[in-house]
Amino acid sequence: MPIIKLSESFVRNNLQCPEGKSRIEYCDQDTPGLYIEVRATSPNEGTIYLRYKDISGITRHQKIARTTEITLAEARRQAKTLKAEIALRRNPKEEGKPKQSELTYERLFEAHYIPHKSLHKRSIEDDIRIYRLKIKPTLGHKLLHQINRFEIQALLNSFRDSLKPASCNHILKVIRHSLNLAVEWEFLESNPATKIPLFDEADSKVEHYLNDAELERLLTVLHTDENRTVCQIALFLLSTGCRLNEVLSAQWSDIDLEKKIFLVRASNSKSKRLRPVPLNECAMGVLNQLDTKGKTPLFLNAHTGKPYTTITKVWARLRKQAGLEHLRLHDLRHQYASFLVNSGRTLYEVQQILGHSDSKVTQRYAHLSTKTLQEAANSASAKIKKAMQPK
């Protein structure tokens, strides 16, 4: 349990568990009680805690956040606030904790789930929208201990005809996760949504791949349309396989032109992990055309001078102009994956470049390699025929 002067540099470069140990605590010299726990299974990142004694003299550990989620300065500010509350004889673990008999799902979600997930989840707005439109009208007024599995299943079934399986599953995931937290916080004995199965999404996962003629039409539009910035964003998506939010939030400080690497920050990555993306010749060509060097983001809106938050309307015009009204922005990521697979790259390589945490996600591209596998099989045939020729 070494006591050191923690710094941002130390957090970025030195969070390692000593060989032979499963975990280690790095205690902050400047903020007594603040420490970072690093486990051997998760090198280069850790969990920030505040160690304190409650009014009974019992040592407690209050989790603040992961090192990938907040800065050290913000962790110190939160620790200072917690210590002030403790000095006033408040227990952070009990503060604001209602009785089980009084807690409704609405209060759980709005007073506890949203503040908690806002610190840990980038897509919290999606959760709030699903809750407000799909969950609250039915479950909001219910006391937690009154919610049962049948009611949750009935709620999901009511949307089955109007929503795709994936959308129904999003509703279930929000309910399940919020009730899991209720159990973790001891508001609820058990989660009634735990054993409810997800709907089969196999038939709803539509991916559009471009043939040579369609790709040519798209590239013609992207190289000639007057809205150069949005066209450059689309070309960068097609050339890197990145997600839209990763590109819209990209800074010049994330780009290493010499090594040809784009570092997707953990705060912008879906997996919450830092991901290096190799920049090919086309991606480098896009960067060389940008006039934003010396400014903060890669892509700036020429009319507002501010970063883009969405390009949906312009993209709808561009794809219509190319005769590809079915093509979604996310399909450019799938198209990039198809380029890799059909050129003979392995699914492991595709997984690493696209940043999939689970190889099962990458398996969706396995069917694209049929042509490559056929060419590989033909190479064996050529060997056999050559050996059969008379000498």
58-85 per-position pLDDT tens digit = 788 889 999 988 899 999 998 888 888 7
Two tokens at 276?
């290096």
Write down the domain spans for the chain: 3-87, 100-204, 212-336+350-358
What distance lies between CA 108 and its chain's CA centroid? 24
Q: What is the pLDDT of residues 88-105, one digit of tens each?
A: 655 555 555 555 557 899
Select, from the ranges 123-132, 293-302, 318-327, the one with the highest average predicted confidence (pLDDT).
Answer: 318-327
Question: Is the CATH number 1.10.10.10 carried by domain 212-336+350-358?
Answer: no
Pairing of strands 23-28, 3-4: parallel
Give pairs for 255-259: CB < 8 Å, separation 24+.
255/279, 255/287, 255/298, 257/284, 257/287
Enter the pTM of the model. 0.54
Categorize the per-residue pLDDT at 373 as very low, low, confident or very high, splitting at 50, 70 and 90. Answer: low
Mapped onto helix, strand or coil, the DSSP state of residue 106 is helix
Mean pLDDT of the chain: 86
Mapped onto helix, strand or coil, the DSSP state of residue 371 is helix
**What distance in Å separates the CA atoms of residue 110 and residue 116, rounded to the nearest whole number?**
10
**What distance in Å separates the CA atoms of residue 279 and residue 266, rounded to the nearest whole number?**
18
Q: What is the pLDDT of residues 268-304, one digit of tens each?
A: 887 778 889 999 999 999 999 998 887 778 999 888 8
Q: What is each CA distance from 321 to 141, 229, 230, in whole angstroms? A: 48, 17, 14
> How many CB atoms neighbour CB 311 within 10 A?
22
Among 164, 218, 204, CA closest to 336: 218
Residues 148, 166 contacting (CB under 8 angstroms): no
At the topology level of CATH, where does 100-204 sit? DNA polymerase; domain 1 (1.10.150)
The full DSSP string for 67-80 is TTTS-HHHHHHHHH
Report, as an integer, the average pLDDT of 319-329.
93
Beta strands in 85-185 (DSSP E): none
End-to-end Cα distance, the chain: 75
Residue type, 147: I
> How many CB atoms neighbour CB 182 within 10 A?
24
Two tokens at 146?
């009154």
At the topology level of CATH, where does 3-87 sit? Double Stranded RNA Binding Domain (3.30.160)
- Helix 331-342 to helix 347-354 angle, to the nearest 10 degrees? 150
Mapped onto helix, strand or coil, the DSSP state of residue 24 is strand
pLDDT at 369 over 80: no
Mapped onto helix, strand or coil, the DSSP state of residue 25 is strand
